[in-house]
Amino acid sequence: MKKVGCLGGTFDPIHNGHLELAKTVRKQCGLDEIWFLPTKDTPLKSRTISPFSTRKKMINLAIKPYRKFKCCEIENKLPTPSYTIQTVKELQKKYPNIEFYWIVGDDQVAQFDKWKNIDELLSLVQFIVVPRQQFKIQDKRLWVCPTFHHEASSTAIREGSFYYLPSSVRKYVLENELYLESIVEKHCSEKRRQHVLSMTELCVKLAIKHNVSVHEATMAGMLHDVCKEMGIDQNKKWISLFYPSLLGVAPAIYHSFTAIPWIKQNLGYTNHRVLNAIFNHTLGLGKSKLSKIVYIADKIDPNRGYDISKQLACAMNDLDEGMELIKREQQEYLKKEGVHV
């Protein structure tokens, strides 16, 4: 009988750690194939997960180079929530000539008391446990795979560590603007997050009006303040490293410059129009339509709490006129406050 290892999970998103784990288990346990089984829903997670179709697409992109890896969609057709026992029974019914093995981490074993009908499940399928947290495995019904370690985690990726993603998946994530809100939530306070969301909405509105890429306006809006609350000392270190000539500018605007290397290094995003718009969003020196849109939206964000109807109407009618009006008002405000940038 063909031996198939089943690796279930949300895969939101799938990452290099999943792929390395699958390769290790297949080799160490003598399996013919590894099937990735994205859950439609999971009873042990409280957060909202990405649509099944999105996670399936990312899995297929990630496993494309591997002949022995497959994506199995069986859980998408089963009742929710997704209980492992119902999945195993359905697999055994549908593929009677395959011997299935269920792959889990030792962190999941520690939660076996929460699994539905765990004793029956352990009698139906052989479990392969991959050590992660050095949880002591005492149940002789479990096979323990040699120690496996990988730093990647889906949580870290959703918060901005895209370097853990296969390049094809990273490209898909960026093109589809996935996890942007999670990144903002991780790196911004609630007040700052509200500003980013409101400002991005205005960016999109202006982009549509002036025939600018909505995707680029969204990316620039959502990421423009990603380093705003990184801390002055850390921002200064990054300025010293990447833009030493800008050390003389006001520390309050360091974030518009340090966001560029942060985005490149953490997200692998290199769209020069978006990065240029973010770089110039505090001083308003950008010449492109996108740069003007981001500067304008940041300064007249409706969430700031004052009447912006005049400025918005001007910017919607003519970007250049709106830019000049808002820059002039901004300079007058800074002069009044005694702020020098």
Rounded-to-integer distance, Cα 292 and Cα 277, Å: 8
Instruction: Tell me if residue 3 falls in helix, strand or coil.
Output: strand
Contacts 24+ apart (CB under 8 A), 48-54: 49/10, 49/12, 50/12, 50/13, 50/178, 52/76, 54/176, 54/178
pLDDT at 221: 98
Q: Which of 159, 162, 184 is nearest to 173 (CA)?
A: 162
Q: Note the pLDDT tens digit of each residue in 50-70.
A: 999 999 999 999 999 999 999
pLDDT of residue 46: 57
C-alpha 105: how far from chain center:
22
The verdict on 164 and 296 lying in the same domain is no
Check which CATH number belongs to the domain holding 259 and give it: 1.10.3210.10
pLDDT over threshold 70, residue 337? no
Question: Mean pLDDT score of the chain, rounded to an integer?
Answer: 92
Q: Alpha-carbon distance 330 to 335, whole Å? A: 9
Could you tell me if 30 and 144 lie in one domain? Answer: yes
329 and 230 fall within a common domain: yes
For residues 294-314, give the mean pLDDT.
92
Mean pLDDT of 7-11: 94
In a domain, 328, yes or no: yes
- Residue-level pLDDT at 43: 55
Instruction: Please report whether residue 67 resides in a domain.
Output: yes
Rounded to a whole number, what is the distance in angstroms from the first to the last CA of the chain?
A: 71
Higher pLDDT, 338 or 330: 330
Q: CA-to-CA distance for 172 and 162, rounded, in angstroms?
A: 11
- pLDDT of amino acid 228: 96
Number of domains observed in the structure of the chain: 2
Is a pLDDT exceeding 80 seen at residue 191? yes
H-helix segments, the chain: 16-28, 52-63, 84-94, 106-109, 118-124, 154-158, 167-175, 180-187, 190-209, 214-223, 232-242, 254-267, 272-279, 289-299, 309-317, 319-337
- Cβ atoms of 41 and 187 closer than 8 Å: no
Whether 180 is in a domain gets the answer no
**What proportion of the chain, given as a percentage, has pLDDT over 90?**
80
Domain match, 200 and 277 both? yes
Residue 20 placed within a domain:
yes
Same domain, 136 and 268: no
Measure CA 133 to chain center.
24
Say whether pTM exceeds 0.95: no
- Percent of the chain at pLDDT > 70 equals 95
Task: Average the pLDDT over each of 17-31, 60-74, 104-118 and give the range with the smallest value.
Answer: 104-118
> 140: domain CATH number?
3.40.50.620
pLDDT at 227: 97
Structural domain contains residue 184: no
Whether residue 223 is contained in a domain is answered as yes
Examine the domain organization and report whether 163 and 256 are in the same domain.
no
Q: Which pLDDT belongs to residue 340?
A: 56
Helices 190-209 and 180-187, axial angle in degrees (round to 10): 140
Q: Are 134 and 221 part of one and the same domain? A: no
**Mean pLDDT, range 263-280, rounded to an integer:** 98
Residue 182 inside a domain? The answer is no
| 141 plus 35 within the same structural domain | yes
Query: According to the model, what pLDDT value does residue 124 have?
Result: 95
Q: What is the pLDDT at residue 132?
A: 73
Mean pLDDT in residue range 287-291: 98
CA distance 285 to 291: 8
Residues 6+ apart with CB under 8 A from 296: 202, 206, 311, 315, 319, 322, 323, 326
Among 121, 138, 170, where does a domain finish? 170
User: Which distant-in-sequence residues (6+ apart) come within 8 Å of 158 by Cβ?
Assistant: 12, 13, 179, 182, 183
Residues 229-235: contacts with CB under 8 Å, at least 24 apart? 229/187, 229/188, 229/189, 229/192, 230/187, 230/255, 230/258, 230/262
Whether the pLDDT of residue 339 is over 70: the answer is no
- Residue 140 is predicted with a pLDDT of 79
Task: Specify whether 84 is located in the same domain as 166.
Answer: yes
pLDDT at 135: 65
- Whether the predicted pLDDT of 341 surpasses 60: no
Does residue 259 carry a pLDDT above 60?
Answer: yes
pLDDT of residue 97: 96
Judge if 145 and 255 occupy the same domain.
Answer: no
In this prediction, residue 92 has a pLDDT band, given cuts at 50, 70 and 90, of very high
pLDDT at position 63 is 98
Q: 147 or 54: whose pLDDT is higher? A: 54
Mean pLDDT of the region 239-263: 96
Residues 14 and 152 in one domain: yes
Average pLDDT over residues 280-309: 94
What pLDDT is stored for residue 293 in this prediction? 98
Q: Label residue 111 by pLDDT band (50, 70, 90).
A: confident
Strand 126-130 and strand 142-144: the pairing is: parallel
Domain, as residue range, for 73? 2-170
Q: Quick check: is 181 in a domain?
A: no
Q: Last residue of a domain, which of 101, 136, 170?
A: 170
pLDDT higher than 80, residue 336: no
The pLDDT score that the predictor gives to residue 105 is: 87
The pLDDT of residue 79: 86
Could you tell me if 193 and 146 lie in one domain?
A: no
pLDDT tops 80 at residue 332: no
Domain boundary among 170, 201, 217: 170
